Structure 1
Amino acid sequence: MAGANVFRLNASHGTQADHALTYERVRRVSAALGRPLGVLLDLQGPKLRIGTFASGSITLAAEAPFCFDLDPSPGDERRVCLPHPEIFSALQPGDQLLVDDGRMAFIATEVGPGSIRVRALRSGTLSDRKGVNVPSRALSLSALSGKDRRDLQFGLDLGVDWIALSFVQRVQDVIEARELVQQRCLLMAKIEKPGALQEIEAIIAAADGIMVARGDLGVEMPMEQVPSVQKQLVRLARSAGKPVVIATQMLESMIGSPCPTRAEASDVATAVYDGADAVMLSAETASGRYPVEAVRAMDGIVRHTESDSLRQPLMQAIGKDGESTTTDVLGSALRRVSELLPLSATVAYTASGATAMRMAQQRPRSPVLCLTPSTTVAQRLTMVWGIHPHADTAMAGDTRTVERATRLLHEQALAEPGKAMVLVCGTPFGLPGSTNQLHVVWPSF
């Protein structure tokens, strides 16, 4: 009730049994509330990590020499295992190695087939199993590890709505995952490697949506570049009609504080002004002390920003009319209607969800009530901007569409006296790709 629409199961933490329990809780809450909630399974991806130390950790001074090698024995102040041969074959002298989210940085001085000699760029501590980033090189790693494949199958069997693919580097990573997923859920590409930007338009085309994962992205590339990359990714996703999620450290202080900082509030608002479909909380709700308060705070920031009169001109400035299809033509018409008429809502009838997504791409001034005969489609659409999905297995023909839509608008507190609603649908009804009608209706209240 605090405002969450989608729940993430993070495969990097916990067990499959833990995630199955959480999944069932979400579905039970969804049934109790009478509205769909989405579930996203976030795969761990090929996370690179160092080995262990005999003492658990070591301290290095700036400029100290050190060595990463393939020896699995515990490390010390001179060396530690880096069990990833792909790094040894890709790295060149002068390249950087970042450890523990960049808290420790090294520059390679000598690279051999089984060892990488480095120099510490700053003083700090190294401890067991910390993550490694190689920002300057694209590694020949599949985006799906053995664990990812097992977790992916688990998620598909469970019935999750979205799979998030971590550390995507190239469009082939998405294609590989698509072959396993097929049409059983939607696929989200997490953009957290600079290499992905080289093929970003192809990646967006191959995926069903993208996530701007700013944590690893901010480690792998200069931090000052992340805001502009975020804006570019949002624009590209919007142009393609694909949902885009902004993630990582959005309300980070609320892990331990009941209130966000002003800078965090501005960060969330900026994502809304940019045109993102969703903003995501991570540790704030997974392990923080104030999970409900964090959701309420984010929901409040989003709602206030959405109501700002400045937001709509910004949305239109970065929008796109779409392709030469009937659905996109109707979407453009909807945008114009919403500018000229006082609308309470747009009602989109859709079998596959595509119509609702194309309507949302135009960012109309009014919310989009999506009616679909499929519970699965309704759950998937919870990720998309402005959509209030409703699974209606009893949807009828034209003689009842206005009556049904009016009733649901009242139930979801979207109806407003003196305002029209727009119906977007197609005939023959229920056939994917048949959207061909836009009706402006002034319902009686």
Structure 2
Amino acid sequence: MIANTKILATLGPASSASHRIEAMIRAGASAFRFNFSHGSHEDHAERFRIVREAAEKTGRQIAIVSDLQGPKLRVGKLAGGELALSYGESYEAVLGESAPEGAIPIPHRELFDALQKGDVVMMNDGAFRFTVEEPGAERMVFRCEVPGKLTNNKGINIPGRKLPLAALTEKDAADLAFAVEQGTDYVALSFVQTADDLRLARSKMGESRAKLIAKIEKPGAMTELAEIVAEADALMVARGDLGVELPLEAVPRAQRQIIRMAREAGKPVIVATQMLESMIESPTPTRAEASDTASAAYLGADCVMLSAETAVGRHPESAIAIMGRILRAVDEDEGAGREIGFAAQTTDPKSGAEIIAAAAAWSAEKAGVSAILAATLSGGTAYAVARRRPAVPVLAITPNALSARQLALAWGIKPVLVQKDETFEELSKQAADVARTECELTEGGCVLLIAGIPSGVKGGTNTMRLIEVDPK
């Protein structure tokens, strides 16, 4: 039983075998994230094949999200592979992929050009903190404020200073072309700062109809959030880097703001990073992690994401199963359902299709139907219904395989792949057949069908029909 709030699981060394991916789908994963910061194209091509085969075997529509690395600043190769940092000590940072023993290699000239005395430098998702004592063109001196053992390739963040980094690196462009060629369903663009970053990525995607996810992880993106939301197909609250570059207390507020604006725009929103972090090692999460996951669902997020928990963790299927239990508990909370639904009514429908979708969500509850069936080609009709957070399941019936997979990421939608209909009567019969298979119908049960006449016209949803379905 899949919760309304979907689960996006990251694949990695612990979870790339075919039997493991199939088990993760059966445990409740609706989508898989391919992290292009790691692995070769050959590795990812094999994962594409395995996920598609596992989805077919389990009878589920499963989305694939190709997550580009982005212009990530990283430490180079340390002498000996690690450096023990002491509080208050000064360390030399040098430009390049490697450095002498005791120095920190940083292969990013942009950082040397931008940093000034007194700037804060963080490494490894904020685990290490430095202050710039001496800036320079090829050599700097950092004073250690938070010590520890630094290892190769750890990420670098510069809170409060915007660096002139390209939205797409050469690696990203190559990875994007590869993901499009493989038929990815979504592309996640890292470190988005402006809507132009998204436009650039979209211009590189050619004829692909993959949807573009804007990962919000830079403070600068928060100042241009409205424009980014308008340009993106979906949003991700990437709390890892966002939590490093923003003050800790500002992250919950940013999360609420991103979710609210995405929901108002009717676009899927994903909450990511450290949802069940302790399950990398532990077989159960902490109570605080369970509450954090539930909080994202209570805010009406479409999807929550598991990162290291499934990529390298010891219990990937268990993490998904436990997360599913938490999310289903939110679904069963009637008070929460009313709150989530009420929050969805703040935006007035702006088109005929949106009016029909809003009417369907209202009518479904009043008529006591078992489900809303949204006939859709591009997915727009189903998204329009789901944004209203109706109290009954939304079955998206579509002849478009790509749309079916993409809809797997959206709140409350169960995509069902069907044959293309020729007439509305054929569609109505098809909807009744789907309802018999997918819904728990009683004698005299009803479903609500919304569709466009004629079919196949984007944004042409104009019809709503109440269908009595004989469960036999």
Which residue of 2 is the match for residue 376 of structure 1? Answer: 402
1:344–1:416 CA contact under 8 A, matched in 2: no
Which residue of 2 is the match for residue 35 of structure 1? Answer: 60
Which residue of 2 is the match for residue 238 of structure 1? Answer: 263
Q: 2:412 aligns with which of 386, 389, 408?
A: 386
Q: CA deviation at 1:289?
A: 1.4
Q: 2:343 aligns with which of 312, 318, 323?
A: 318
Q: 2:425 aligns with which of 384, 399, 402?
A: 399
Q: CA deviation at 1:11?
A: 0.9
Which residue of 1 is the match for residue 300 of structure 2? Answer: 275
Distance in 2 between residues matched to 1:148 and 1:119, nearest whole Å: 33
Residues 1:271 and 1:416: Cα distance change in structure 2 (over 3 Å) = farther
1:209–1:244 CA contact under 8 A, matched in 2: yes
Which residue of 2 is the match for residue 167 of structure 1? Answer: 191
Distance in 1 between residues matched to 2:258 and 2:73, nearest whole Å: 25
Q: CA deviation at 1:437?
A: 1.2
Counterpart of 1:264, as a letter, is: E
Distance in 2 between residues matched to 1:199 and 1:349, nearest whole Å: 35
Which residue of 1 is the match for residue 172 of structure 2? Answer: 148
Q: How does 1:6-45 map to 2 (within 5 A)?
A: 6-45=31-70
Q: Secondary structure of the residue that 2:457 maps to in structure 1? A: coil
2:36–2:175 CA contact under 8 A, matched in 1: yes
Q: How does 1:31-430 map to 2 (within 5 A)?
A: 31-70=56-95, 73-77=98-102, 79-184=103-208, 185-319=210-344, 320-417=346-443, 419-430=445-456
Residues 1:104 and 1:88: Cα distance change in structure 2 (over 3 Å) = same
Counterpart of 1:397, as a letter, is: T
Distance in 2 between residues matched to 1:322 and 1:204, nearest whole Å: 18
Residues 1:3 and 1:141: Cα distance change in structure 2 (over 3 Å) = same
Counterpart of 2:50, as a letter, is: R
2:30–2:62 CA contact under 8 A, matched in 1: yes
Distance in 1 between residues matched to 2:143 and 2:444, nearest whole Å: 70
Q: Which runs of structure 1 show a deviation greater than 4 angstroms over 4 or more consecutive aligned residues?
A: 416-419
2:123–2:154 CA contact under 8 A, matched in 1: yes
Q: CA deviation at 1:417?
A: 4.6
2:452–2:463 CA contact under 8 A, matched in 1: yes
Residues 1:21 and 1:442: Cα distance change in structure 2 (over 3 Å) = same
Q: CA deviation at 1:89?
A: 2.3
Q: Secondary structure of the residue that 1:344 maps to in structure 2? A: coil
Q: CA deviation at 1:45?
A: 1.2
Of structures 1 and 2, the one scoring higher in RCO (CA 8 A, sep 6+) is 2
Counterpart of 1:46, as a letter, is: P
Q: Secondary structure of the residue that 1:55 maps to in structure 2? A: helix
Distance in 1 between residues matched to 2:409 and 2:333, nearest whole Å: 22
Q: Secondary structure of the residue that 1:245 maps to in structure 2? A: strand
Residues 1:278 and 1:96: Cα distance change in structure 2 (over 3 Å) = same
Q: CA deviation at 1:198?
A: 1.2
Distance in 2 between residues matched to 1:90 and 1:45, nearest whole Å: 19
Q: CA deviation at 1:18?
A: 1.2
Distance in 1 between residues matched to 2:261 and 2:339, nearest whole Å: 15
Which piece of structure 1 moves more, 155-164 or 49-58? 49-58
Distance in 2 between residues matched to 1:214 and 1:416, nearest whole Å: 44
Q: How many residues align?
A: 444
Q: Secondary structure of the residue that 2:83 maps to in structure 1? A: strand
Q: CA deviation at 1:182?
A: 4.3
Q: CA deviation at 1:64?
A: 1.4
Q: CA deviation at 1:368?
A: 0.8
Which piece of structure 1 moves more, 253-262 or 313-322? 313-322
Distance in 2 between residues matched to 1:316 and 1:335, nearest whole Å: 10
Which residue of 1 is the match for residue 467 of structure 2? Answer: 441
Which piece of structure 1 moves more, 197-206 or 395-404? 395-404
Which piece of structure 1 moves more, 358-367 or 416-425? 416-425
**Structure 2 residues not aligned, in runs of 5+:** 1-25
Which piece of structure 1 moves more, 435-444 or 234-243? 435-444
Q: CA deviation at 1:166?
A: 1.0
Distance in 2 between residues matched to 1:61 and 1:144, nearest whole Å: 36
2:435–2:469 CA contact under 8 A, matched in 1: no
Q: How many percent identity over aligned positions?
A: 41
1:13-71 CA-to-partner distances (Å, cap 9, x unmatched) read 22111111111111112222233111111111112112223232222322212232325
1:333-374 CA-to-partner distances (Å, cap 9, x unmatched) read 123223423121100011111111111111111111111121
Counterpart of 1:142, as a letter, is: A
1:169-224 CA-to-partner distances (Å, cap 9, x unmatched) read 22211111010124511111111111111111111111110111111111111222
Q: CA deviation at 1:228?
A: 1.5
1:70–1:115 CA contact under 8 A, matched in 2: yes
1:43–1:166 CA contact under 8 A, matched in 2: yes
Which piece of structure 1 moves more, 423-432 or 66-75? 66-75
Distance in 2 between residues matched to 1:364 and 1:50, nearest whole Å: 47
1:51–1:75 CA contact under 8 A, matched in 2: no
